Chains A and B, each alone.
Chain A
Amino acid sequence: MNSHTITHRQLFFLVVQTQIGVGVLSLPFSLFTKAKIDGWISLIIAGLLIQFSILAIWKLCDRFPQNTIYEILPKIMGKNLGLVFNFIYTMHFAFISILILIMYNSIVGKWILFETPHWVIIFIMAAAGYYFITSSPREIVRFFVLVTPLLLILFVFILYAYTDVHFLYLFPVGQAGILTIIKSSSDAVVALLGFDVALVFLAYTTGTPAKKIKVISFASFCITVLYAFIVFTTYIYFNPEEIVIVPEPVLYMLKAFSFSIIERTDLIFLSVWIISVATSFISYLFITAKGVQTLFKLKDHQKGAPYVAIFCAMIAIIPNEKLEVLIWNKYISLTSLIFSAMFPIVLLLIAMLRKKQEKGAASS
C-alpha cells in the first residue's frame, strides 16, 4: 500500500480529470431542454449541492482512514448487508464506466468515425482502460497530472467564441422560474459526477483530512466554474432557438471556427476531449476493479481487471439506437444520482448513529 499512495495535490488532479468527461459536450443542450436559458444557474446550484455530497464522502472516509468504500460498507452495515451493498456499488461504478463508454461511442460515431463498427470504438477504449488499471493509483494519477495542461487547449478553443457572442440572449434572467431551475440542477449533478471516486481514492491519499477536503472541494469548484463557463458561452453564442436543434452545442460552435491552419477545430477539440473521457473511464474502471477485488477476495485488483474491462465493453455494445442510448443515459444517471451523490450522506448518518468509527480516526 505504501508505494501506492498519492498526495493530496495529486488527488486534486484526479478529481478534476474524473469530473471532466462525456458530460461537457451535451451538458448545455440537456440543461437547456429543462431550464431554458437559465441552465447555467442550475449548474451553479448543482455545484453547490455536490459540495454537500463531497463533505459527506470526506467525513465518511475520515472515520475510516485508509479504507475504501468497499471496506467501509461491511463495517457500518454488518457483514451480509455490507456484501450486498458492495455488490451494488461495484455494479454502480461499472455502469458509470459503461455509460461513459456509451456516450463516448455515440459522440465518436457521430463526429469522427462514421463507418467504423461501434464495438471497435468501444473495445479500443476498454483495452486502453485495462492497460491503465493494471498499474497502481500512483502511476495513474501521475498520468492524470501530466494530461491536465491539455484542458487549457479546450479552454482556449472555447474562449475563441467570444469573438462572436451576444449577451442579450441571456435576458431576462430567471425566466424559467426558480423551481424549474432547481429541479433541472439534478441533470447538472450527473455531469459533475466524478467526485465520488474519492470514496475509493481517499484511502490512498496521504495528508491531513483538512487538506483532503480542501482539494476535493476545490477541484469540484473549479470544474463547476469551467462547466458554467462552457454552458454560459454556448448560450450567448447560439440563439435560444438554435440550441434546441444542436445536441452538442460545443462542437457545433467549434465547427464554425476556422483558422488559417486548421479548418475543423472541432476535430482537434474532440481528440483532446477523448483523453478527458479516457481519464474518467479509467478512474471508474479502477474503482470497479477494486470492488471486484473485494467481492471475490482477490489478492490484487489486477486479477479482475481484464474481466471488468471486457464486461463493461460487452454491455456498452448493447444499446444500438439513439433512443436506446438516451434511455440508458436516463437510468444510469438516475442511479448515479442516488448512489454517488445522495447515498454517501445516508451512509454517513448511519455511521454516525451507530457510532461506527475506526480506532485511529480522530473523533468528530
Chain B
Amino acid sequence: MTFFKKPKKLIQEKEAPIQQDSPQEDNSKDNESVTVQKLSLDEMLTKVKEPFSATEDLLTHEIELPSDKSRIALLYIESIVDKQLVQSMILNPLFVTDKEINFASFKQMASIDLKKHTEIKQVQELLLQSNTLIFTEDTSCFYAMSTPVKTQRDITEPDNETIIRGAHEGFIENLSMNLALVRKRLKTPRLTVKYLQVGKETHTTIALLYVDNICDPEHVKEVDKRIKSIEADAVYTPGNIEESIEDKPFSFFPQMLSTERPDRVAANLMEGRVALIYDTSPTAHVMPVNFFSFYQSVDDYNKRWHIGSFFRFVRIMGFFIAMGLPAVYIAIVSFHFEVIPFGLILLIKSSLEDIPYPPLFEALLMELTIELIREASIRLPTRIGSTIAIVGGLVIGDAVVKAGLVSNLMIIVVAITAIAAYIVPSNEMSAAVRILRFPFMVAAATLGFLGIVFGFLILIFHLCRLYTFGSPYFAPIAPLNLADLKDAFIRAPFWKQNTRPKDVTAQKVDNANHTRKWDKS
C-alpha cells in the first residue's frame, strides 16, 4: 500500500512550487556553497535541459525530502527510462523507510547503482543512456542511476522488411521502446520528440521526431499543423493518420514512407526528414519523401557500393517491368506482331494459337490468380501458406497451360511481373505498382503502343506534379538535381554521399562525410 500512497506525496510536491522558498531558508548552511556555485537548483536544471531544445520527453520531478526538508530533483528521459525502476530504486527508499532518512544516508544505501558525477557535460550523455539523474541543493555534483526500460515484446526483425546484412531490429507496439530504438541510433541532444494526441476518445499518442538543427522547421510546422487539424473521435491505425495528412488522397502512390525499421527512420531523420512514431503500432512514417526513398533499402548501404548500385538499379527496373511488361506483351501480340524478331514469331504463334480468348483476358485472369494466391498466403499461417504456394503456383500454373486456357508465354510474363513487383523494399509502393499495371494492360489492349506511351506520359507527369509536404515527389529527377542522383538510381559510395538531398531543404546541406581523408596524403 505504501507504494501507492507515496506517489501522492510526490504530486503534492509538484503541485505546490510556491512552497519552494521555505527549504531555501532552512538550508542556511548551504547558502555559502550556493554563492560559490552561483547556481540554485532551478538554475542548474534549466541549464542542464538547455541542449535538449524542446523535447518533451525529458522530465523533471522535484521532491522535498520529509526528513530535512531539502529539495532534490530527478531528471530523466521518460521514453527510455523504466518508471517502475525509478519508483522502486529511488523514490521508495527515500520515502518508505523511516522518516529519519536524508539524502546522505540514501546515498550510502544505494551506493552500487548510484554514481556521483561532477561534470555537467556528462549530463546529456547520461540522460541519453537511460539514466535517472538526481540533483540536490548542492549543485556542484549530481548522481546518476541506470534505469533502462524493459521491452514489451521481443524486438524482432520486421517480416515485411527483412534484410541480409545490418541491424535486425524492428519497432514494436510500444512508443517508448520505439523512441528508444531511434534514440539508440541518434545519440544527439538535437533529436527532438514532440508528443501529439489525436482522437477525442482514443487519445492516440503520436511522437513527431526530427533533428532540430538539420530538419527544415517548415516541415515540422506543416506536419504538426496537419495532425492537429485532425478531428475524430477515434484514430485507430497509422493508416488513419496517413490518409488524413497526405497531400493527394486520390493518388495511387504512397506519399509517406511506412517502415518498421528504426535504422531506416534514423537515417531519414539525419537526412532532415520528419518521422511519426505511433503508440501501439510498429509502423513509423517518414516525410517528406520522394519516389526513390521507397527503393532504398538498408541492405544497399551494407553491400559494396557497386553491388548496392546494381541492385538499386535492378529495383528501379523492376518498377517499369512490373508496370509495363504485361502491357507491352499484350500490345505486341495483339497489335504489333511485326516487332517480334523473325526467330521468335513461330514460337509465339504456336503458343498462342489454341488460346480461345484475347490476350487481355488471359492476362487479367492470371494476374488476378496471382493476387488471390498472395492474399490467401498472407492470411494463413506459414505452414499452410507453403501449401497455397504449391497448389497455387505449381498446380494451377501447370494445369492452366495444359488445359489450354492460358499460353505458356503469358505464364512467364505474369510470373516475371509478379516477382518484379515484390522486389520493392516498401510494401505500399509494391501495392501501388501492382494496381497500376491493370490500367496499363487495358490501355495496351485498346491502343497498343500508343496506349502504353500515353499511360506512361500521364503516370510520369502525375509523379512530376505530386508534392509531399511541399517537396517534389519525383526529385531528384524532376526537378533534376544531378548531385542527388547519387542516391537515386545508384548508391554512390559513402565517401561520395557528402550532401543531404536538396528536396528535403535541410538546414545543413553538408553532412560532413569526409571519411577517406587518410587517403589524400
Residues in chain A within 8 A of chain B (CB atoms): 108, 112-113, 116, 120-121, 124-125, 128, 131-132, 135, 139, 142-143, 145-147, 258-264, 267-268, 270-271, 274-275, 278
Q: Which of B53-61, B213-221, B304-312, B458-466 contacts A (4 or more CB under 8 A)?
A: B458-466
Q: CB distance A145 to B480 under 8 Å?
A: yes
B449: chain A residues at CB < 8 Å are 112, 267, 270-271
B189 in the interface (beta carbon within 8 A): no
Q: In the complex, what distance in Å separates the CA atom of A146 from the CA atom of B447?
A: 24
Main secondary structure of the interface of B (DSSP, over half): helix
Q: In the complex, what distance in Å separates the CA atom of A284 from the CA atom of B49?
A: 60
Q: In the complex, what distance in Å separates the CA atom of A131 from the CA atom of B464?
A: 12
Q: In the complex, what distance in Å separates the CA atom of A113 from the CA atom of B334?
A: 11
B390 to chain A, nearest CB (A): 35
Highest count of chain A CB atoms <10 Å: which of B342, B454, B464: B464
Q: CB distance B341 to A112 under 8 Å?
A: no
B321 to chain A, nearest CB (A): 16
A14 to chain B, nearest CB (A): 13
B457: chain A residues at CB < 8 Å are 128, 275, 278
Contact (A258, B341) CB under 8 Å given A113-B335, A143-B478, A145-B479: yes
- A258, closest chain B residue (CB): B341
Instruction: Add 6 more A-B contacts to A131-B458, A146-B477, A263-B339 (CB < 8 A).
Output: A112-B449, A145-B480, A146-B478, A262-B341, A264-B339, A274-B450
A-B contact pairs, 6 of them (CB 8 A): A112-B336, A128-B454, A142-B478, A261-B341, A267-B338, A271-B452
A306 to chain B, nearest CB (A): 16
Q: CB distance B461 to A132 under 8 Å?
A: yes
Q: In the complex, what distance in Å separates the CA atom of A108 from the CA atom of B447?
A: 11
Q: Which B residues between 469 and 515 are near A, CB-CB below 8 angstroms?
A: 472, 474, 477-480
0/1 interface trace, chain B 129-154, chain A, CB 8 Å (1 if under): 00000000000000000000000000
B470 to chain A, nearest CB (A): 10
- A273, closest chain B residue (CB): B453
A124: chain B residues at CB < 8 Å are 447, 450-451, 454
B338: chain A residues at CB < 8 Å are 263-264, 267
Highest count of chain B CB atoms <10 Å: which of A131, A132, A139, A262: A139
Which of A145, A264, A267, A278 lies in contact with B478, CB distance below 8 A? A145
Contact (A264, B336) CB under 8 Å given A113-B448, A146-B464: yes
B380: chain A residues at CB < 8 Å are none
Q: In the complex, what distance in Å separates the CA atom of A337 from the CA atom of B450?
A: 30
B448: chain A residues at CB < 8 Å are 112-113
Q: In the complex, what distance in Å separates the CA atom of A108 from the CA atom of B335?
A: 13
B465 to chain A, nearest CB (A): 4
Give the bracket for the number of chain B residues in contact with chain A: 20 to 34
Q: In the complex, what distance in Å separates the CA atom of A258 from the CA atom of B345?
A: 14
B340 in the interface (beta carbon within 8 A): yes
A17 to chain B, nearest CB (A): 13
Q: In the complex, what distance in Å separates the CA atom of A131 from the CA atom of B455?
A: 12
Q: In the complex, what distance in Å separates the CA atom of A113 from the CA atom of B448?
A: 8
Closest 5 CB pairs of A and B: A142-B478, A139-B465, A264-B338, A143-B464, A135-B465
A189 to chain B, nearest CB (A): 28
Contact (A113, B447) CB under 8 Å given A146-B460, A264-B339, A267-B339: yes
Q: In the complex, what distance in Å separates the CA atom of A132 from the CA atom of B340?
A: 33
Q: CB distance A142 to B450 under 8 Å?
A: no
B339: chain A residues at CB < 8 Å are 262-264, 267-268
Contact (A121, B450) CB under 8 Å given A139-B465, A143-B460: yes
Q: CB distance B335 to A131 under 8 Å?
A: no
B477: chain A residues at CB < 8 Å are 146
> How many A-B contacts at CB < 8 Å in the complex?
81
Q: In the complex, what distance in Å separates the CA atom of A259 from the CA atom of B461?
A: 31
B101 to chain A, nearest CB (A): 66
Q: In the complex, what distance in Å separates the CA atom of A264 from the CA atom of B340?
A: 8
Which of A116, A135, A139, A258 lies in contact with B447, CB distance below 8 A? A116
A199 to chain B, nearest CB (A): 24
Q: In the complex, what distance in Å separates the CA atom of A135 from the CA atom of B474?
A: 15
Q: In the complex, what distance in Å separates the CA atom of A163 from the CA atom of B426?
A: 46
Which of A125, A142, A275, A278 lies in contact with B464, CB distance below 8 A? A142
Q: In the complex, what distance in Å separates the CA atom of A121 from the CA atom of B448?
A: 11
Q: In the complex, what distance in Å separates the CA atom of A113 from the CA atom of B453?
A: 13
A135: chain B residues at CB < 8 Å are 461, 465
A128: chain B residues at CB < 8 Å are 454, 457-458
A125 to chain B, nearest CB (A): 8
Highest count of chain B CB atoms <10 Å: which of A108, A113, A145: A113
Q: In the complex, what distance in Å separates the CA atom of A270 from the CA atom of B452?
A: 12
Q: In the complex, what distance in Å separates the CA atom of A121 from the CA atom of B449?
A: 12
Q: In the complex, what distance in Å separates the CA atom of A260 from the CA atom of B341?
A: 6
Q: CB distance B341 to A143 under 8 Å?
A: no
Contact (A263, B341) CB under 8 Å given A124-B447, A145-B478: yes
Q: In the complex, what distance in Å separates the CA atom of A124 from the CA atom of B480?
A: 28
- B443, closest chain A residue (CB): A124
A146: chain B residues at CB < 8 Å are 460, 464, 474, 477-478, 480
A152 to chain B, nearest CB (A): 15
Q: In the complex, what distance in Å separates the CA atom of A147 from the CA atom of B332?
A: 23
Q: In the complex, what distance in Å separates the CA atom of A268 from the CA atom of B328?
A: 12
Q: CB distance B453 to A275 under 8 Å?
A: yes
Q: In the complex, what distance in Å separates the CA atom of A121 from the CA atom of B452?
A: 13
Which of B342, B452, B472, B478 lies in contact with A263, CB distance below 8 A? B342
B339 to chain A, nearest CB (A): 5
Q: In the complex, what distance in Å separates the CA atom of A259 from the CA atom of B344?
A: 13
Q: In the complex, what distance in Å separates the CA atom of A258 from the CA atom of B458?
A: 30
Q: CB distance A271 to B478 under 8 Å?
A: no
A250 to chain B, nearest CB (A): 17
Q: In the complex, what distance in Å separates the CA atom of A132 from the CA atom of B465?
A: 9
Q: CB distance B450 to A113 under 8 Å?
A: yes
A118 to chain B, nearest CB (A): 13
A154 to chain B, nearest CB (A): 14
B331 to chain A, nearest CB (A): 10
B342: chain A residues at CB < 8 Å are 263
Which of A131, A145, A274 lies in contact with B453, CB distance below 8 A? A274
Q: In the complex, what distance in Å separates the CA atom of A40 from the CA atom of B335?
A: 36
A263 to chain B, nearest CB (A): 5
A121: chain B residues at CB < 8 Å are 450
Q: Which B residues between 25 and 52 are near A, CB-CB below 8 angstroms?
A: none
A262: chain B residues at CB < 8 Å are 339, 341
Which of B341, B453, B472 lies in contact with A271, CB distance below 8 A? B453
A278: chain B residues at CB < 8 Å are 454, 457
Q: In the complex, what distance in Å separates the CA atom of A264 from the CA atom of B228?
A: 58
A113: chain B residues at CB < 8 Å are 335, 447-448, 450
Q: CB distance B479 to A142 under 8 Å?
A: yes
Q: In the complex, what distance in Å separates the CA atom of A124 from the CA atom of B464?
A: 20
Q: In the complex, what distance in Å separates the CA atom of A113 from the CA atom of B450?
A: 8
